[in-house]
Amino acid sequence: MMTPPKTNKSIVSLSGDHPHEECGVVAIFAPNEDVARMAFYGLFALQHRGQEAAGIAVSDGHAIRMYKDVGLVSQVFTPANLAPLTGNFAIGHNRYSTTGSSTARNAQPFLLETRHGPVAVAHNGNLINSADLRQKLLENGVGLFSSSDTEVIAQMLAGAEGSSTFERLKNAMLSWKGAYSLVILTIDGVFVARDPWGFRPLSVGLLPSGGHAAASESGALHTLGCVGIREVRPGEIIALSNHALRVEQAIPTASPTALCTFENIYFSRPDSFWDGRSVHQVRQNLGKALAEEAPVEADVVIPVPDSSIPAAMSFSQTSGIPYDDGFIKNRYIGRTFIEPSDALRKQGVALKFSVMGEKVRDQRVVVIDDSLVRGNTISPLIQLLRDAGAKAVHLRITCPPIPYPCFMGVDMGTCDELIAHSHSVEEIREQIGADSLVFLPLEKMMSAIGRSEGYCNACFTGCYPLPVPTGVVKTGFETCIDDIHVMGR
193-224, pLDDT tens digit by residue? 999 999 999 999 999 988 999 999 999 999 99
- Known catalytic residue at 23: yes
**Count of Cβ atoms closer than 10 Å to residue 333 Cβ:** 14
Task: Using alpha carbons, list the distances in angstroms from residue 436 to 50, 395, 432.
Answer: 33, 6, 10
Do 278-453 and 23-258 fall under one CATH topology? no
pLDDT band with cut points at 50, 70 and 90 for residue 475: very low
- Distance in angstroms (rounded) separating the CA atoms of residues 288 and 268: 19
Residues 6+ apart with CB under 8 A from 157: 119, 121, 168, 169, 172, 184
pLDDT band with cut points at 50, 70 and 90 for residue 108: very high
N-to-C CA span, the chain: 59
- Distance in angstroms (rounded) separating the CA atoms of residues 193 and 200: 11
- Distance in angstroms (rounded) separating the CA atoms of residues 158 and 142: 11
Average pLDDT on 473-486 reads: 39
Torsion of CA 352, 358, 364, 370, to 10 degrees: -20
Class of domain 278-453: alpha beta
Q: Mean pLDDT, the chain, as a whole number?
A: 87
Report the run of H or E that residue 230 belongs to, with start and end: strand 227-231
pLDDT in tens, 126-137: 999 999 999 999
Average pLDDT on 79-97 reads: 93
Q: Per-residue pLDDT for 101 more than 90?
A: no
Q: pTM (2 decimals)?
A: 0.87
What is the reported pLDDT for 451? 94
Task: Give the active site residue among 23, 260, 399, 459.
Answer: 23
Q: Per-residue pLDDT for 115 more than 50?
A: yes
What is the reported pLDDT for 230? 96
How many Å separate Cα 143 from the centre of its chain?
A: 29
Q: Which amino acid, residue 294?
A: A
Tell me if the bond preceding 306 is cis, omega within 30° of 0.
Answer: yes
Domains of the chain, residue spans: 23-258, 278-453
- Are 286 and 292 in contact by the 8 Å Cβ rule? The answer is no
Query: What's the CATH number of domain 23-258, 3.30.390.50, 3.60.20.10, 3.20.20.70, 1.10.3720.10?
Result: 3.60.20.10
- Which residues, in sequence order, are bridge partners of residue 328? 354
Q: Per-residue pLDDT for 488 more than 70?
A: no
What is the reported pLDDT for 328? 84
Average pLDDT on 71-94 reads: 96
Q: Per-residue pLDDT for 482 more than 80?
A: no
Strands 178-186 and 189-194: antiparallel
Average pLDDT on 275-297 reads: 97
What is the reported pLDDT for 458? 96
- Distance in angstroms (rounded) separating the CA atoms of residues 462 and 446: 16
- Are 144 and 137 in contact by the 8 Å Cβ rule? The answer is yes
Q: Per-residue pLDDT for 363 more than 80?
A: yes
- Are 169 and 159 in contact by the 8 Å Cβ rule? The answer is no
Q: Per-residue pLDDT for 12 more than 60?
A: no
Q: Per-residue pLDDT for 60 more than 60?
A: yes
Residues 6+ apart with CB under 8 A from 338: 20, 50, 51, 52, 96
